[in-house]
Amino acid sequence: MEAMVNLEIDGKQVKARQGMTVLEAAKESGVQIPTLCFHDKIMPYGACRVCSVEVGKKGGRVRVVAACGYPAEDGLVVKTRSPRIDKIRKTIVELVAPQAMFEGEVSGELKEIADEYGADIHRFESRLNVKPVRCILCGECVRYCAEVVGANAIGFVGRGIERRVVFFPEKASKVCPGCMGCFEICPTGKIAAEADGTYFGFTVDRFLAGTL
């Protein structure tokens, strides 16, 4: 029999299997926590911090942690919504939005979170020196290709503001047209698969020839 832990999430008593994260425990109990860089098929990354929650023990110090990587512990008290958490999520979305834009708007999961938290996606647009490439460098596509598909056909290159995601043609040309798993998990809709195998007028072949 699996060992269980008892914790509290948003005032609700929850039982979780030992080894689960706060995000997993919340999801299993019906509490949804937003994420941008998390997918249940790949290892937690903790890059976006959109899944930030408040945690603590009764009478103890309250901290903000990433729910995707924080273990569900016995006696833990979790708040997934509070003025502090809502502000954190709103600000994160506003900071990543400028580089995630396409024709002045954001889409996909990012848009859903922006709408829910009332984020002003243009708030930092003039202050951040970023090019709107519709990619927030969350790494979901890179990690999915490596961990789930095992192809390593897509990866990061460059550093700092030059960092970007690219397809490696020698691998991608053989693997990607028959897979396109990364198309479906991109939180901004950058790699969005349509029924005809194109997105924004790009064929798969042309898509693989470029960078994200």
Nearest-Å Rg of the Cα atoms of the chain is 19
The helix/strand/coil state of 25 is helix
pLDDT in tens, 78-135: 999 999 999 999 999 999 999 888 888 998 899 999 999 999 999 998 887 777 788 8
User: Please, are residues 186 and 134 in contact by the beta-carbon 8 Å criterion?
Assistant: no
Distance CA 185, CA 181 (A): 7
pLDDT in tens, 142-183: 999 999 999 999 899 898 878 888 888 888 888 887 888 888
pLDDT in tens, 108-120: 899 999 999 999 9
User: Please, are residues 4 and 13 in contact by the beta-carbon 8 Å criterion?
Assistant: no
What pLDDT score was predicted for residue 196? Answer: 41
Residue recorded with tokens 């809502």: 86
Judged on CB neighbours under 10 Å (0-12, 13-18, 19+), 130 is middle
Distance CA 57, CA 117 (A): 27
The helix/strand/coil state of 145 is helix
User: Binning pLDDT at 50, 70 and 90, where does residue 204 land?
Assistant: low
Domains of the chain listed by start with CATH number? 4-81 (3.10.20.740), 82-134 (no CATH), 140-208 (no CATH)
| Phi, psi (degrees; rounded to nearest 5) at 37 | -110, 10
Residue recorded with tokens 């709107």: 132
Instruction: Note the maximum CA span of the chain.
Output: 58
